[in-house]
């Protein structure tokens, strides 16, 4: 699903955030990306979602070389990559339903289709009864779940999550992880950036560890 | 780097859009149009959420467009009015005070026989006084006078053969030689001057219209620029989840469209009200000149042109702003 080959990322300004990274994430695989603050976790996810472009090496997603995707092609690439942001990035002037519906609206789905899929996605994250509320009235964990529903509503084959449990208590964090596991079980590839070591170690998945832009550890899942 | 092997699992997204047949294409077109229509009215709804700001922007556009549109209508009216006067060079002969009615009618009769003259209007002193007091509002003051101060006037309409200014001059000189004539006045120069003036005015209005159209572009452009800035976060989010530039651009373009249309409607209303306001005094003025002239309202064609131009300007203004500012907003 994702293949990095000798990939480096140098930001304008000269800082090398990723240095010669190589790894492969299979379709339907779930993995954690960890490392100290500033290690390059977010940068790596940004390369996959084409928010940034790599300076060296190559990145393949779903068999496609990202260097070959032009500016005009970026939106279509992003529709196949569900991204969950630490700061949720919800639209606060729209209801939960409308937030989750946005990717489907963008893709031009019919009303009935949108209605069906949004309710299915909200059901999966356990927020069906809050669809008419505005995100500002939700707790942090609930907002994060809205973000997850929005990321999965158009059924992308790949999910990226950047610190999805950043501000959540351990109980909520486990709940969120359970949701990701559910998606992984139906065949979605999931890559989660996190420095919540205890949480990562409590789960049986592969861990990629970054340190100052280098991949220093790639520990396979215990399953 | 080995990935664990899992039972064959199909990425869910691949099941989507696999069966795009003819039917799918038709439905696709249908939803495409529906989506446009939705955005179209969504943009309208957004404007109505801030009615005051929308009204102010539209009013600025309206005033800017009402000015050239109104002036154009007035000019049209004036040109229509003066077209009647095109061949109406006239010479007014003011007769001396001591000329009595018999003498003046004799003179009129004599002039009528001339080849160079097609018609002579006879305005007696009593007629002149009557009209003057009726129309000038000085009636009472005139009644206070013992004697009618107004002279007899013969209005001479030159025949068609007199079509050069030299010939007119000659006729004028000839008419001045009559001993009964106190003053012979040619009423042509001012018509020519009026024409030259109207021509200049017409160009002036076009220049004004161009400048104010530019102003409309800038007003809409600036309003849309602010709207883009206000919705920066939203734009970033939409880009992050796969919104195309066209998708993001659409509501702003439609907003420009609505601003233009509202501005056009306001301009139309302003012009109509102004014309209504002018109707009474213009009618009065026309009466003073014995004219049946009535101020024409804004024509249907002009209304259509005004609304179309306004809408296009709004759309173009937002298009410029969107092209200029949307590119700068990229997620990071
Ligand atoms: N746009 C940018 N321009 C320049 N440098 C950047 C940019 N974005 C990130 N960096 C630098 O790249 C390095 C890696 O950043 P990144 O956000 O990937 O770290 P991270 O592992 O996600 O850290 P954290 O756990 O704090 O989120 C940091 O040192 C950061 O300062
Ligand atoms: Mg980060």
Q: Are residues B104 and B150 in the same domain?
A: yes
- Residue A81, classed as helix, strand or coil, is strand
ipTM greater than 0.95? no
pLDDT attached to residue B8: 42
A222 pLDDT above the threshold of 60: no
Average pLDDT on A119-129 reads: 92
pLDDT range class, residue B85, cuts 50, 70, 90: low
CA distance A189 to B89: 93
- Residue that terminates a domain, selected from B133, B163, B185: B185
Take residue B130 and report the two structure tokens written for it. Answer: 């009557």
Take residue B218 and report the two structure tokens written for it. Answer: 């800038």
Name the pairing type of β-strands B153-158 and A206-211: unpaired
A35 min Cα distance to partner chain B (Å): 18
What DSSP string describes B36-54?
HHHHHHHHHHHHHHSHHHH
Nearest CA in chain B to A22: B1
For chain B, give the percent of residues with pLDDT over 70. 83
Write out pLDDT tens, residues A72-85: 999 999 999 999 99
Take residue B86 and report the two structure tokens written for it. Answer: 């095109």
- Note whether residue B213 is domain-resident: yes
B14, B31, B233 ranked by CB distance to A157: nearest: B14
Q: Are residues B201 and B67 in the same domain?
A: yes
In this structure, chain B runs to a length of 332
Q: Are residues B199 and B74 in the same domain?
A: yes
B9 pLDDT above the threshold of 50: no
CB contact at 8 A, A189 and A154: no
A46 min Cα distance to partner chain B (Å): 8
Question: Domain containing B168: what range?
Answer: 90-185
Pocket of ligand 1 (CB under 6 A): A 11, 13, 15, 17, 35, 37-43, 195; B 332
pLDDT range class, residue B283, cuts 50, 70, 90: confident
- Note whether residue B21 is domain-resident: no
Q: The dihedral of CA A57, A60, A63, A68: what is its sign?
A: negative
pLDDT range class, residue A26, cuts 50, 70, 90: very high
Q: Are residues B125 and B152 in the same domain?
A: yes
How much is the CA Rg of chain B, to the nearest whole Å?
Answer: 35
pLDDT attached to residue B198: 81
A212 pLDDT above the threshold of 90: yes
- Residue that terminates a domain, selected from B166, B185, B204: B185
pLDDT attached to residue B157: 84
pLDDT attached to residue A137: 94
Take residue B276 and report the two structure tokens written for it. Answer: 């209504």
Q: Are residues B282 and B317 in the same domain?
A: yes
Q: Are residues B109 and B131 in the same domain?
A: yes
CB contact at 8 A, B118 and B109: no
Take residue A156 and report the two structure tokens written for it. Answer: 């992308």
| Domains in chain B, number | 2
For chain B, give the percent of residues with pLDDT over 90. 31
B332 pLDDT above the threshold of 90: no
B164 pLDDT above the threshold of 70: no
CA distance A45 to A40: 9
Residues 6 or more apart whose CB falls under 8 angstroms from that of B129 comprise B142, B148, B150
Q: Are residues B78 and B202 in the same domain?
A: yes
Q: Cα–chain-centroid distance for residue B175?
A: 44
Which residues from A are below 8 Å from B247, CB to CB? 75, 106
When mean pLDDT is compared across A91-95, A153-157, B187-191, B229-233, the lowest value belongs to: B187-191
pLDDT attached to residue B89: 74
pLDDT range class, residue B34, cuts 50, 70, 90: confident
* CATH number of the CATH domain containing B97: 3.30.70.3040
Q: The dihedral of CA A100, A106, A112, A113: what is its sign?
A: negative
- Residue A161, classed as helix, strand or coil, is strand
Q: Are residues B213 and B249 in the same domain?
A: yes
Backbone φ, ψ for residue B183 (5° rounding): -150, 130
Please enumerate, as own/partner, the contacts of B118-125 that have beta carbons within 8 Å and a separation of 24 or more. B118/B157, B118/B158, B118/B159, B118/B160, B119/B156, B119/B157, B120/B154, B120/B155, B120/B156, B120/B157, B121/B154, B121/B155, B121/B157, B122/B152, B122/B154, B123/B152, B123/B153, B123/B154, B123/B155, B124/B152, B125/B150, B125/B151, B125/B152
Residue A46: nearest ligand to its CA? 1
Q: Are residues B232 and B317 in the same domain?
A: yes
- Note whether residue B5 is domain-resident: no
- Note whether residue B154 is domain-resident: yes
Write out pLDDT tens, residues A149-198: 999 999 999 999 999 987 788 888 888 899 999 999 999 999 999 988 88
When mean pLDDT is compared across A156-160, B171-175, B191-195, B279-283, the lowest value belongs to: B191-195
For chain A, give the percent of residues with pLDDT over 70. 99
Give the position, in ligand 1's atom list, of the atom nearest the Cα of A18.
14
Summary mean pLDDT of chain B: 82
Q: Are residues B232 and B283 in the same domain?
A: yes
Q: Which of B274, B258, B267 is nearest to B304 (CA)?
A: B267
The residue that leads in pLDDT, B159 or A55, is A55
- Note whether residue B3 is domain-resident: no
Write out pLDDT tens, residues B107-131: 889 888 888 888 888 888 888 888 7
Name the pairing type of β-strands A206-211 and A214-219: antiparallel
CA distance A128 to B213: 51
pLDDT attached to residue B47: 86
- Residue that terminates a domain, selected from B152, B185, B218: B185
The residue that leads in pLDDT, B151 or B81, is B151
CB contact at 8 A, A98 and A91: yes
pLDDT attached to residue B131: 79
pLDDT attached to residue B160: 65
pLDDT range class, residue B185, cuts 50, 70, 90: confident
Element (H, E) at B261: helix B245-288
B12 pLDDT above the threshold of 80: no
**Closest residue (by CA) to atom 28 of ligand 1?**
A38
pTM of the model: 0.74
Contact B1 A22 (CB under 8 A): yes
Which residues from A are below 8 Å from B233, CB to CB? 89, 91
Residue A38: nearest ligand to its CA? 1
B31, B239, B241 ranked by CB distance to A150: nearest: B241
CA of A23 from ligand 2 middle (Å) equals 19
B63 pLDDT above the threshold of 90: yes
Q: Are residues B214 and B235 in the same domain?
A: yes
Q: Are residues B223 and B288 in the same domain?
A: yes
B1 pLDDT above the threshold of 60: no
């Amino acid at each position: 699903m994702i293949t990095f080959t000798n990939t480096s990322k140098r930001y304008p300004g000269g800082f090398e955030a990723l240095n010669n990274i190589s790894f492969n994430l299979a379709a339907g695989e779930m993995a954690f990306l960890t490392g100290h603050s500033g290690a390059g976790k977010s940068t790596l996810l940004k390369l996959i979602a084409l928010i940034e472009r790599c300076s060296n090496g190559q990145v393949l997603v779903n068999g496609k070389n990202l260097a070959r995707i032009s500016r005009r092609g970026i939106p279509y690439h992003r529709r196949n990559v569900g991204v969950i942001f630490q700061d949720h990035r919800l639209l606060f002037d729209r209801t939960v339903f409308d937030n989750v519906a946005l990717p489907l609206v963008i893709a031009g789905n019919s009303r009935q289709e949108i209605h069906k899929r949004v309710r299915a996605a909200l059901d999966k994250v356990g927020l069906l009864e809050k669809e008419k509320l505005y995100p500002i009235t939700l707790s942090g964990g609930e907002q994060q779940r809205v973000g997850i529903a929005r990321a999965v509503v158009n059924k992308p084959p790949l999910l990226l999550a950047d610190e999805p449990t950043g501000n959540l208590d351990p109980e909520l964090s486990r709940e969120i992880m359970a949701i990701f596991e559910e998606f992984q079980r139906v065949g979605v590839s999931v890559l989660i950036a996190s420095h919540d070591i205890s949480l990562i170690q409590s789960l049986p998945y592969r861990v990629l560890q970054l340190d100052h832009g280098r991949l220093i550890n790639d520990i396979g899942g215990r399953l | 780097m080995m990935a664990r092997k899992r039972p064959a699992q199909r990425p869910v997204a691949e099941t989507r859009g696999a069966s795009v047949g003819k039917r799918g294409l038709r439905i696709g077109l249908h939803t495409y149009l529906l989506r446009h229509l939705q955005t179209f009215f969504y943009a309208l709804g957004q404007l109505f959420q801030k009615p005051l700001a929308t009204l102010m922007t539209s009013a600025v556009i309206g005033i800017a467009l009402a000015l050239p549109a109104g002036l154009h209508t007035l000019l049209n009216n004036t040109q229509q009015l003066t077209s009647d006067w095109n061949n109406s060079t006239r010479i007014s002969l003011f007769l001396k005070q001591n000329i009595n009615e018999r003498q003046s009618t004799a003179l009129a009769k004599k002039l009528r026989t001339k080849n160079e003259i097609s018609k002579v209007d006879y305005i007696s002193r009593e007629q002149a006084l009557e009209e003057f007091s009726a129309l000038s509002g000085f009636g009472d003051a005139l009644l206070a006078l013992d004697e009618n101060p107004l002279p007899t006037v013969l209005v001479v309409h030159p025949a068609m053969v007199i079509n050069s200014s030299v010939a007119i001059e000659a006729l004028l000189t000839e008419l001045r030689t009559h001993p009964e004539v106190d003053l012979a006045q040619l009423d042509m120069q001012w018509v020519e001057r009026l024409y030259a003036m109207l021509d200049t005015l017409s160009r002036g209005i076009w220049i004004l219209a161009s400048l104010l159209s530019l102003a409309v572009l800038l007003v809409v452009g600036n309003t849309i620029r602010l709207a883009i800035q206000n919705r920066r976060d939203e734009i970033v989010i939409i880009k992050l989840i796969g919104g195309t530039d066209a998708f993001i651009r659409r509501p702003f373009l439609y907003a420009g469209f609505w601003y233009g249309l509202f501005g056009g409607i306001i301009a139309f209303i302003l012009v109509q009200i102004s014309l209504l306001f002018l109707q009474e005094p213009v009618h009065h003025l026309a009466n003073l000149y014995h004219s049946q002239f009535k101020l024409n309202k804004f024509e249907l064609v002009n209304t259509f042109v005004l609304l179309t131009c306004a809408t296009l300007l709004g759309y173009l203004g937002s298009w410029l702003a969107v092209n200029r500012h949307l590119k700068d907003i990229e997620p990071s």
